[in-house]
């Protein structure tokens, strides 16, 4: 059956298992383990009213993400969760996340270098370190307690993506509000359009200014690269591209950081090991993304009649890949629920896999590693300020994680004095 538009759901179908942070704060709902063992490709009714094939085994999830010819991105990534993300809606101008093939590559080719070229990453490092140190100085001046998510992680990742695209920190409200609308499950299409309007208007002005006077930022370089190609970007495409970068580029990283530090604070053995061996920070980052990334899952759409894990799937059917469940598949990652700094994380799917794999993964790795290393070094007494059970979690969103992480400390060492 073609699932390209919303249907009223099918009574009697399994409801999509939703995150249950109170039961398992760092892993998928327990039903996912049962499904992986007993019904690894199964039909579910999603909260948005669509039905989809839920895929929970590592090998199957990787196969779907890795084959963009059989599994199109046309439905958008969150058709199962967000009321505004009707999989049947037309693809908007510049909405590259829902494109396939050559249409998609036209965008990826020009955005990719901005967020993954060694030169860009080298320039990002000192800028991110500066923001991290400034935020810790501000926390030291204000004194404990503070919210690690809103007072540290969000400002750091916001400044990083804003700086990268070329949007000053003072203008962050524009993309914060847009992101809140994009990632909230109940936002309607009309509400989304209203929420995006100020950001689009602002970015339209920025595109005009950068066309007239290019700066040292991603937007200026994307304009130049597009202009030098056979098919230059329209202003609207440039606005849409920048908007996606800004909206997708801060909360995911901030949430993994706050959620990951929460996991570490809850595991004194692993925390002590990391404190005594800071060279393990990159491994810790990778393990946090494996443990926590992709918790909301991603939708694809079958482009032809096919099979997944031996189950027939019809052209047009929606396929929901449970990335976090795949990364908790014990056949791939033994004792998957455990944050284990010494495990092999190669092949984890936390940043996705295949054609649409996360654009920003290298920048996210840099932000997470610098933030984690600096927190451990400058705040040796970092601790939760409330009992673990009192941490609230975001659930009605595509960016699942703690809503707040209240923390306290005895002392925040000055940046210069905390030896590296
Ligand atoms: C820890 C942080 C992050 C995680 C866990 C994460 C996860 C993901 C995943 C799983 C996808 C795949 C979507 C798909 O296959 O349809 C994705 C795509 C994407 N990510 Fe990230 N991401 C993170 C950080 C970032 C950052 C910092 C940026 C911006 C610099 C970014 C920009 C994007 C964009 C633009 C896409 C869409 C790619 C496409 O559809 O082609 N992400 N991300």
Going from N- to C-terminal start, the domains of the chain cover: 14-408
**Omega of the bond leading into 145 within 30 degrees of 0 (cis):** yes
CA distance 124 to 113: 13
Q: Could you tell me if the CB of 146 is within 6 A of ligand 1?
A: no
Please give the CATH topology (third level) of the domain spanning 14-408: Cytochrome p450 (1.10.630)
- Give the span between the Cα atoms of 402 and 388, in whole angstroms: 11
Cβ of 375 less than 6 Å from ligand 1? no
With a 6 Å cutoff on the Cβ, whether 292 touches ligand 1 is no
* CA of 108, closest atom in ligand 1: 41
DSSP 61-118: HHHHHH-TTTEESTT-TTTTT-TT--TTSPPPTT-GGG--HHHHHHHHHHHHHHHH-H
Cα(399) to ligand 1 centroid in Å equals 11
Cβ–ligand 1 distance for 291 under 6 Å, the answer: no
Pick from 207, 239, 205: nearest CA to 224? 207
| Rounded Cα gap, residues 298 and 219, in angstroms | 27
Tens place of pLDDT per residue across the chain (420 aa) = 344 445 544 557 899 998 888 889 999 999 999 999 999 999 999 999 999 999 999 999 999 999 999 999 999 999 999 999 999 999 999 999 999 999 999 999 999 888 888 888 999 999 999 999 999 999 999 999 999 999 999 999 999 999 999 999 999 999 999 999 999 999 999 999 999 999 999 999 999 999 999 998 999 999 999 999 999 999 999 999 999 999 999 999 999 999 999 999 999 999 999 999 999 999 999 999 999 999 999 999 999 999 999 999 999 999 999 999 999 999 999 999 999 999 999 999 999 999 999 999 999 999 999 999 999 999 999 999 999 999 999 988 999 999 999 999 999 999 976 655
Atom of ligand 1 nearest to the CA of 288: 1
Q: Is 401 in the pocket of ligand 1 (CB under 6 A)?
A: no
Binding site membership of 359 for ligand 1 (Cβ less than 6 Å): yes
CA of 357, closest atom in ligand 1? 12
Give the residues across from 311 on adjacent strands: 308
- 322 close to ligand 1 (CB < 6 Angstrom): no
Is the CB–ligand 1 distance for residue 254 below 6 Å? no
Note the pLDDT of residue 210: 96
Q: Are 16 and 96 a contacting pair, CB within 8 Å?
A: no
140 near 180, Cβ under 8 Å?
no
- Ligand 1 centroid–CA 70 distance in Å is 21
Residues contacting 134, CB < 8 A, separation 6+: none
What pLDDT, on the 0 to 100 scale, is given for residue 152? Answer: 98
Closest atom, ligand 1, to C-alpha of 97:
40
Token code pair at residue 384: 């939760």
Check pocket membership of 260 for ligand 1, CB cut-off 6 A.
Answer: no
107 Cβ closer than 6 Å to some ligand 1 atom: no
Which amino acid residue places its CA nearest to atom 14 of ligand 1? 356
């Amino acid at each position: 059956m073609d699932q390209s538009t919303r249907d009223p759901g099918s009574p009697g179908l399994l409801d999509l298992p939703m995150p249950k942070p109170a039961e398992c704060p760092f892993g998928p709902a327990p039903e996912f383990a049962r499904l992986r063992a007993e019904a690894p490709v199964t039909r579910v009714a999603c909260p948005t009213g669509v039905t989809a094939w839920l895929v929970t085994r590592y090998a199957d999830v990787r196969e779907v993400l890795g084959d963009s010819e059989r599994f199109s991105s046309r439905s958008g990534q969150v058709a199962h969760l967000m009321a505004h993300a009707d999989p049947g809606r037309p693809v908007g101008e510049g909405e590259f996340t829902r494109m396939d093939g050559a249409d998609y590559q036209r965008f990826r080719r020009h955005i990719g270098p901005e967020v993954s070229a060694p030169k860009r990453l080298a320039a990002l490092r000192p800028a991110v370190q500066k923001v991290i140190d400034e935020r810790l100085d501000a926390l030291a001046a204000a004194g404990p307690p503070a919210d690690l998510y809103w007072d540290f992680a969000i400002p750091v990742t916001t400044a990083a993506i804003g700086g990268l695209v070329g949007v000053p920190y003072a203008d962050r409200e524009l993309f914060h509000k847009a992101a809140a609308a994009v990632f909230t499950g109940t936002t309607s299409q009309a509400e989304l359009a209203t929420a995006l309007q100020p950001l689009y208007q602002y970015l339209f002005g920025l595109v005009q200014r950068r066309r007239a006077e290019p700066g040292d930022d991603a937007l200026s370089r994307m304009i130049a690269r597009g202009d030098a190609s056979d098919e230059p970007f329209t202003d609207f495409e440039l606005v849409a591209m920048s908007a996606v970068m800004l909206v997708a580029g801060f909360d995911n990283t901030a949430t993994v950081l706050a959620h990951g530090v929460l996991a570490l604070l809850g595991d004194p053995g692993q925390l002590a090991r990391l404190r005594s061996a800071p060279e393990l920070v990159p491994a810790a980052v990778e393990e946090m993304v494996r443990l926590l990334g992709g918790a909301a899952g991603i939708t694809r759409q079958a482009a032809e009649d096919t099979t997944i894990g031996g189950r027939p799937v019809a052209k047009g059917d929606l396929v929901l890949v449970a990335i976090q469940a795949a990364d908790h598949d014990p056949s791939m990652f033994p004792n998957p629920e455990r944050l284990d700094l010494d495990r092999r994380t190669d092949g984890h799917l936390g940043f996705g896999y295949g054609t649409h794999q996360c654009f920003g993964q290298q920048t996210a790795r840099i932000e997470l590693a610098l933030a984690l290393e600096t927190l451990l070094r400058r705040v040796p007494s970092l601790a939760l300020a409330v009992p673990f059970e009192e941490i609230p979690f975001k659930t009605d969103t595509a960016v699942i994680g703690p809503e707040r992480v209240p923390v306290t400390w005895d002392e925040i060492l000055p940046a210069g004095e905390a030896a590296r």
